[in-house]
Homo-oligomer: A and B are copies of this chain.
Amino acid sequence: MGRRNDHTREDIHSMALISALQIVRDEGPEALSARRVAGAIGYSPGTLYNVFENLDDLVLQLDGAILESLHVYMAEASKAKAGRERITALGQAYVSFTRDHRNLWTLLFERPMPDVGELPEWYTQRIEALFDLIEAALVNLYGGAERAGLAQEARIMWAGLHGICLLSLTQRPEVLGGHGIDDLAGNFIANYVAGLDARHAAAA
């Protein structure tokens, strides 16, 4: 078959991403392959390479979309809350997302990433947007006086949550002392915030 023009480049681009998302969601990251995606959208493998640099590029775009879903999800879950409740809600939302969209979340973080510095700006910004949600909640809680410190602490909270989810979904439950992921995340947030409280009280 030769030229057929029934879809624009953009069409194919988004069709591929949608199909890839379905494949990963339903069958996990290991089911994703160039041939598989090409077949699902009714094109040959070669066509994908007109639209994506390579498969890693496709995955990166997909990751971007997933990060955006995660952002929406967390923002939604926390928007009506304030103070400590806001932070707790953000943490719970992250945990829920990893549980409810496990395959997508796995794709995000299990897949070997390109070297640092090779990530495009737009991608980095989507990661930062997640941090900013937590940072804003911390500012809401402690005031904007020491924003720099809170920015750092927001990153730490995010990393901590992330580590807990990773551990929980990777290890058998006994290893974690039988505690569920929600317990761990809840305890983490409570303790870390208690630590922040203590330090802010001391500073005041």
Contacts and interface: CB of A to CB of B under 8 A. Distances in A.
Q: Is the interface of A mostly helix, strand, loop or mixed?
A: helix
Query: What is the total number of copies of this protein in its complex?
Result: 2
A184 interface: yes
Among A116, A177, A190, A192, chain B packs the most CB atoms within 10 A around the CB of A177
Interface of A: 29-30, 110, 112-113, 116-117, 119, 124, 127-128, 131, 148, 151-153, 155-156, 158-164, 166-167, 169-172, 174-177, 179, 183-184, 187-188, 190-199
A127 B184 CA distance: 17
A117 B174 CA distance: 10
Shortest Cβ-Cβ A-B pairs, 3 listed: A163-B163, A191-B195, A195-B195
Nearest to A154: B177
Nearest to A131: B175
A121 to B, nearest CB: 10
Nearest to A149: B187
Given A127-B171, A160-B160, A162-B166, 9 more contacts: A116-B169, A116-B171, A124-B171, A152-B179, A158-B163, A163-B164, A163-B166, A188-B192, A195-B196
A195 B69 CA distance: 32
Contact of A177 (B151, B171, B188, B197): B151
Contact of A191 (B113, B166, B199): B199
A112 B113 contact: no
A193 B191 CA distance: 8
Given A30-B112, A191-B192, A194-B195, A160 B164 contact: yes
Given A162-B166, A175-B128, A198-B197, A187 B156 contact: yes
A148 B127 contact: no
Nearest to A125: B175
